[in-house]
């Protein structure tokens, strides 16, 4: 008899879904009329959960007595209560590396879009404003300073791209990385004061929650831009709204929000923001590789083989 896998969010592409269905009895939770009842009916059989960004709640984990593995189709695992999973001996896998380049490219796109008013410019042409005069000037990237918060895999890929645009890169993180050529700032406020672009690439979760607050944004100042490709939880959204409304920073490029897919209403009418629907890894190639990792991790686990990308 096939083992049962519960998928909580629609992320896997058809090819990977097919392989999953060849090997498991699959429950697509978003298609169930009464998800709670489905979980209750199948709780003893569900041995695997496939998630992506939606929370895998403690309540869900506790409801599944035979759960062995959570395969997260994302590099971040801030949607999973790791302490609960660890205490139960439940394996957790994520999808690192395969999404690094695409996510870094979205970070770079936001930097460019803000500096050169790309989205604003598109709108300017479409609504016919060009007939009345030119778009206000943007700012040059050459020689500007970018501060990366979280110099992990994605942060490093962003740094490499920014350097190619002749920008000076510095970083902030939990600790100095001796093998990195960039200047390290232990204090985020100090770094924000020094940079023109603050690019958030750190992991989400309690450690970084509201890391970017009013003080940091104030330090970034009226000529500074914020780019967030990390998690919405890293920025205090209330503080961001206040500072944007008062032109306390020059603008913000956001791929992530605190309560996705909800985006604060106030942001929708602001000119100095570029808003994206969390598309860091959203290419066909990368989502295919992420899905393959999810499926291979599940198969490896139930074959008693080592996991490909266990989250430690
Ligand atoms: C996306 O945000 C991810 O964590 O993979």
Atom of ligand 1 nearest to the CA of 99: 5
- Smallest CA-to-CA distance from 226 within 205, 193, 254, 258 is with 254
Q: Is the CB of 170 under 6 A from ligand 1?
A: no
| Helix (H), strand (E) at residue 26 | strand 24-28
CA distance 295 to 12: 9
From the CA of 75, how far away is ligand 1's center (Å)?
A: 5
Which of 32, 183, 190, 260 is catalytic? The answer is: 260
Residue 278 bears catalytic tag: yes
Atom of ligand 1 nearest to the CA of 77: 4
Atom 1 of ligand 1, nearest CA residue:
74
Which of 172, 278, 287, 301 is catalytic? The answer is: 278
Instruction: Give the pLDDT score at 129.
Output: 98
From the CA of 126, how far away is ligand 1's center (Å)?
A: 33
Residues 6+ apart with CB under 8 A from 189: 215, 216, 219
pLDDT, tens digit, 9 for 90 and up, residues 162-203: 999 999 999 999 999 999 999 999 999 999 999 999 999 999
Residue 260 bears catalytic tag: yes
Atom 5 of ligand 1, nearest CA residue:
74
Atom of ligand 1 nearest to the CA of 73: 5
Instruction: Give the pLDDT score at 312.
Output: 81
- Smallest CA-to-CA distance from 158 within 85, 219, 240, 230 is with 230
From the CA of 74, how far away is ligand 1's center (Å)?
A: 4
CB 34 within 8 A of CB 28: no
Angle, in degrees to the nearest 10, between helices 284-302 and 14-23: 10
Running along the chain, 312 residues long, what does each successive block of 10 average in pLDDT? 96 98 98 97 98 97 98 98 98 98 98 98 98 98 98 98 98 98 98 99 97 98 98 98 98 98 97 97 98 98 98 89
Which residue among 78, 99, 155 is best mutated to probe the pocket of ligand 1, counting the most ligand atoms within 8 A of its Cβ?
A: 99
Which residue among 96, 103, 105 is best mutated to probe the pocket of ligand 1, counting the most ligand atoms within 8 A of its Cβ?
A: 103
Q: Is the CB of 280 under 6 A from ligand 1?
A: yes
Domains of the chain: 3-97+284-302 (3.40.50.720), 100-275 (3.40.50.720)
What's the pTM value of the predicted model, to 2 decimals? 0.97
Residue 231 bears catalytic tag: yes
């Amino acid at each position: 008899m096939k083992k049962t896998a519960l998928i909580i969010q629609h992320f896997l592409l058809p090819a990977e879904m097919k392989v999953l269905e060849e090997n498991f009895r699959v429950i697509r939770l978003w298609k169930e009329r009464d998800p709670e009842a489905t979980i209750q009916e199948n709780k003893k059989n569900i041995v695997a959960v496939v998630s992506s960004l939606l929370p895998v709640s403690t309540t869900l984990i506790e409801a599944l007595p035979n759960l062995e593995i959570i395969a997260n189709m994302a590099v971040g695992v801030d949607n999973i209560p790791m302490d609960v999973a660890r205490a139960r001996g439940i394996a957790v896998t994520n999808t690192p590396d395969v999404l690094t380049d695409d996510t870094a490219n979205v970070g770079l796109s936001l930097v460019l879009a803000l500096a050169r008013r790309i989205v604003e410019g598109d709108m300017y042409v479409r609504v016919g404003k060009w007939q009345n005069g030119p778009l206000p000037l943007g700012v040059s990237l050459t020689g500007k300073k970018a501060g990366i918060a979280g110099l992990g895999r994605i942060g490093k890929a962003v740094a490499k791209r920014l350097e190619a645009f002749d920008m000076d890169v510095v970083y902030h993180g939990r600790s100095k990385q001796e093998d990195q050529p960039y200047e390290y700032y232990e204090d985020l406020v100090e770094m924000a004061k020094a940079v023109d672009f603050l690019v958030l690439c750190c992991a989400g979760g309690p450690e970084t929650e509201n890391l970017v607050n009013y003080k940091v944004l104030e330090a970034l100042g009226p000529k500074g831009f914020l780019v967030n490709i990390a998690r919405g939880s890293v920025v205090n959204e209330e503080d961001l709204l206040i500072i944007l409304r008062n032109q306390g920073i020059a603008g913000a490029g956001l791929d992530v929000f605190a309560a996705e897919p909800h985006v604060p209403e106030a942001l929708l009418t602001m000119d100095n923001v570029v808003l994206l629907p969390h598309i860091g890894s959203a290419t066909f190639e990368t989502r295919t590789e992420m899905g393959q990792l999810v499926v291979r991790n599940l198969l490896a686990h139930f074959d008693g083989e080592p996991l490909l990308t266990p989250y430690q």
